[in-house]
């Protein structure tokens, strides 16, 4: 093993939380050895390309759209569900690009989002207690003793599920599905009678005319037919992320080849902890979730640990303050980080600070609270003169009923009809598209006022 990557025993000796407890250490080691022998899922050059794009975000020249399931499931590895997710992300991205006229960096919470941190180690139902579900990468969702046992074999299934998802995503985005002339088709099965839908159709019509004009003028070509799309997930499971960390043969530098970008969660970002120690060594662009108890000093300490040489595009701070906290808690963090001269991409996760449980026991979020946190995020950045660099959303391409409100005014009683998430509630496709219009409006209003001296990126799509 290269000296550039800490050994597994070094990592295991460090403070760590949220890791599964396996009964059989031999089976666990066997899985790690098998994973180490399998091919990387992404290429180091792609991670570098994404890092360069995120550097443009940090410079106020582009915007990140990061979204997907809270928890992917092995059962969810199906063409239709992957296609639907991609379709909603592409539609949102077009809304943002067209309405706000800003290049959008598209990143899925996809092809690897199989492990979950939990606030409680166990779950009790009707007096019976079993270990909590920690994502399909660790144990089963079913509430039985057998399903809830942590099984290292699931790490191999995670790898295979990630590989087949990524393969389809790559085929879709490069093989014609993402062609801008498919704008209407992406929307074909959306419910057609909402104001969101009408707005989208109108915009798609305008883009179609513009494309026709460009083609007649002889401009267009490949950039209109394909998009760059990147995969990301929370780097939670040390065994898995370690096994996928490889030395790139060109640069001789380590990369976590499980995804283009990985992030560290709010619960696992301890500066001396194992997650930070492993990710410190890899060259991927990294996200760090920051909740309402974070101070500016905390944020700087993590950034200095992960990125001592201030590599452009290396750090994205994903803030998840909650709608009622964002205006008070976010400004001091931004001010302290900016005062240090460090440039990061500031991304708003308006989901994780706004979760609550209904009286019937559904974990949910109010669409209005999501909008409120986003408005707070944009207001704070406008007041400070900094760039609101992106959004991080839990969503699905299906018509689920997991979050309240939005175009169809989903109520608490509606939640039972199609509540499918195994972890946090996701926006459905109408709610997601509606949110994209809201974000585009805010971004467009600010874009003209925001002063950046950095040159415009030479990539666009
Ligand atoms: C998540 O992104 O699903 C998550 C658990 O977020 P956080 O670490 O911000 O709580
Ligand atoms: Mn979540």
Same domain, 215 and 321: no
Cα 285 versus chain centre, distance: 12
Contact (Cβ atoms closer than 8 angstroms) between residue 91 and residue 227:
no
Instruction: Give the CATH number of the domain where residue 69 resides.
Output: 3.20.20.70
125 has a pLDDT exceeding 90: yes
Question: Which residues span the domain enclosing 217?
Answer: 180-223
Same domain, 315 and 205: no
- Identify the residue with better confidence: 72 or 452: 72
Contact (Cβ atoms closer than 8 angstroms) between residue 350 and residue 423:
no
Same domain, 190 and 52: no
Give the residue from 164, 197, 223 where a domain finishes.
223
Task: Give helix then strand counts, H and E, for the chain.
Answer: 14, 14
Q: Which residue minimizes the CA distance to atom 1 of ligand 1?
A: 70
Least confident of 192-206, 225-239, 410-424, 446-460: 446-460
Q: Give, for ligand 1, the residue of 66, 114, 267 to mutate: max count of ligand atoms closer than 8 Å to Cβ.
A: 267
Share of the chain above pLDDT 70, in %: 97
Report how many domains make up the chain: 2
1 in a structural domain? no
Q: pLDDT digits over 132-191, tens only?
A: 999 999 999 999 999 999 999 999 999 999 999 999 999 999 998 888 888 887 776 665
193 in a structural domain? yes
Q: What is the mean pLDDT of residues 115-122?
A: 96
* CA 143/CA 80 separation, integer angstroms: 27
Give the residue from 188, 223, 258 where a domain finishes.
223
Q: Which residue minimizes the CA distance to atom 6 of ligand 1?
A: 265
* CA 442/CA 234 separation, integer angstroms: 28
Q: What is the mean pLDDT of residues 392-398?
A: 96
* CA 149/CA 23 separation, integer angstroms: 9
Same domain, 46 and 137: yes
CA 406 – ligand 2 centroid, Å: 19
Same domain, 219 and 131: no
- Residues found in the chain: 461
Ligand nearest to the CA of 320: 1
Same domain, 280 and 321: yes
The phi and psi torsions of 357 (rounded to 5 degrees) equal -110, 135
457 in a structural domain? no
Contact (Cβ atoms closer than 8 angstroms) between residue 278 and residue 194:
no
Same domain, 392 and 324: yes
The model scores a pTM over 0.85: yes
455 in a structural domain? no
Same domain, 13 and 142: yes
- Residue where the block lists tokens 């093989």: 175
SS3 readout for 277-288: HHHHHCCCCEEE
CA 319 – ligand 1 centroid, Å: 10
Contact (Cβ atoms closer than 8 angstroms) between residue 294 and residue 346:
no
The whole-number pLDDT of residue 453 equals 67
Contact (Cβ atoms closer than 8 angstroms) between residue 391 and residue 443:
no
Least confident of 208-212, 248-252, 275-279, 436-440: 208-212
Same domain, 119 and 141: yes
Ligand nearest to the CA of 292: 1
Residue-wise burial string across 393-413, b where 16 or more C-beta atoms lie within 10 A, e elsewhere: bbbbbbbbbbbbbbbbebeee
* CA 254/CA 421 separation, integer angstroms: 34
The whole-number pLDDT of residue 177 equals 87
The whole-number pLDDT of residue 130 equals 97
381 in a structural domain? yes
CB contact set of 285 (below 8 Å; sequence gap of 6+):
47, 50, 51, 54, 260, 261, 313, 314, 315, 316
The whole-number pLDDT of residue 198 equals 85
The whole-number pLDDT of residue 1 equals 55
The phi and psi torsions of 307 (rounded to 5 degrees) equal -145, 65
26 has a pLDDT exceeding 80: yes
The whole-number pLDDT of residue 190 equals 63
Same domain, 61 and 160: yes
Contact (Cβ atoms closer than 8 angstroms) between residue 404 and residue 410:
yes
Q: Is 395 helix (H, G, I), strand (E, B) or coil?
A: strand
Ligand nearest to the CA of 234: 1
Least confident of 61-75, 99-113, 145-159, 213-227: 213-227
CA 217 – ligand 1 centroid, Å: 47
458 in a structural domain? no
The whole-number pLDDT of residue 313 equals 98
pLDDT tier at 220, thresholds 50, 70, 90? confident
The whole-number pLDDT of residue 183 equals 83
CA 109 – ligand 2 centroid, Å: 10
The whole-number pLDDT of residue 2 equals 72
Cα distances (Å, whole numbers) of residue 244 to 38, 234, 305, 369: 8, 14, 21, 37
What's the token pair of residue 389?
């660099």
Torsion, CA 256, CA 259, CA 265, CA 269, rounded to 10:
10
CA 364 – ligand 1 centroid, Å: 14
Q: What is the mean pLDDT of residues 387-414?
A: 95
Give the residue from 193, 223, 253 where a domain finishes.
223
Q: Give, for ligand 1, the residue of 112, 132, 265 to mutate: max count of ligand atoms closer than 8 Å to Cβ.
A: 265
* CA 365/CA 427 separation, integer angstroms: 9
459 in a structural domain? no
459 has a pLDDT exceeding 70: no
pLDDT tier at 97, thresholds 50, 70, 90? very high
Q: Give, for ligand 1, the residue of 349, 354, 355 to mutate: max count of ligand atoms closer than 8 Å to Cβ.
A: 349
424 in a structural domain? yes
Share of the chain above pLDDT 90, in %: 83
pLDDT tier at 224, thresholds 50, 70, 90? confident
* CA 446/CA 63 separation, integer angstroms: 12
Same domain, 72 and 60: yes
* CA 314/CA 309 separation, integer angstroms: 10
Same domain, 184 and 250: no
């Amino acid at each position: 093993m290269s000296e550039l990557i800490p050994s597994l025993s070094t990592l295991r000796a460090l403070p760590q939380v949220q890791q599964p407890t396996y009964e059989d250490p031999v089976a666990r080691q066997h899985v790690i050895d098998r994973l180490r022998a399998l091919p990387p899922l992404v290429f180091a050059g792609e991670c570098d390309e994404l890092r360069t794009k995120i550097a443009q975000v940090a410079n106020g020249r582009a915007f990140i759209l990061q979204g997907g399931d809270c928890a992917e499931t092995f059962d969810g590895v199906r063409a239709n569900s992957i296609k639907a997710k991609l379709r909603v992300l592409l539609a949102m991205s077009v809304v943002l690009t067209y309405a706000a006229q800003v290049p959008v960096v598209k990143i899925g919470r996809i092809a690897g989002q199989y492990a979950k941190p939990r606030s409680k180690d166990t779950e009790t139902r009707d007096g019976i207690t079993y270990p909590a579900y920690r994502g399909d990468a660790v144990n089963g969702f079913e509430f039985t003793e057998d399903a809830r046992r942590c099984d290292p074999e699931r790490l191999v299934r995670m790898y295979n599920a990630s590989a087949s998802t990524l393969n389809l995503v790559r085929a879709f985005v490069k093989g014609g599905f993402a062609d801008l002339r498919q704008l209407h088709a992406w929307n074909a099965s959306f419910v057609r009678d909402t104001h969101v839908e009408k707005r989208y159709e109108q915009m798609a019509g305008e883009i179609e005319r513009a494309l026709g004009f460009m083609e007649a003028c002889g401009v267009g070509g490949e950039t209109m037919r394909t998009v760059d799309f990147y995969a990301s997930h929370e780097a939670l499971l040390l065994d898995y992320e370690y096994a996928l960390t490889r030395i790139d043969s060109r640069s001789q530098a380590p990369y976590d080849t499980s995804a283009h970008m990985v992030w560290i969660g709010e619960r696992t970002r301890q500066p001396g902890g194992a997650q930070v120690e492993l990710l410190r060594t890899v060259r991927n662009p990294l996200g760090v979730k920051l909740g309402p108890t974070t101070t500016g000093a905390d944020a700087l300490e993590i950034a200095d640990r992960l990125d001592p040489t201030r590599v452009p595009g290396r750090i994205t701070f994903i803030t998840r303050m909650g709608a009622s906290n964002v205006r008070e808690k976010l400004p001091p963090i931004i001010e302290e980080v900016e005062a240090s001269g460090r440039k990061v991409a500031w991304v708003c996760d308006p989901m994780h600070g706004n979760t609550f449980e209904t009286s019937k026991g559904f974990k949910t979020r109010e669409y209005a609270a999501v909008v409120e946190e986003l408005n707070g995020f944009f207001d704070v950045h406008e007041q400070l003169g900094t760039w609101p660099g992106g959004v991080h959303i839990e969503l699905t391409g299906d018509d689920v009923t997991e979050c309240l409100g939005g175009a169809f005014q989903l109520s608490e009683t509606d939640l039972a009809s199609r509540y499918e998430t195994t972890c946090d509630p996701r926006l459905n496709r109408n709610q997601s598209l509606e949110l994209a219009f809201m974000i585009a409006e805010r971004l467009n209003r600010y874009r003209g006022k925001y002063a950046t001296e950095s040159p415009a990126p030479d990539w666009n799509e």
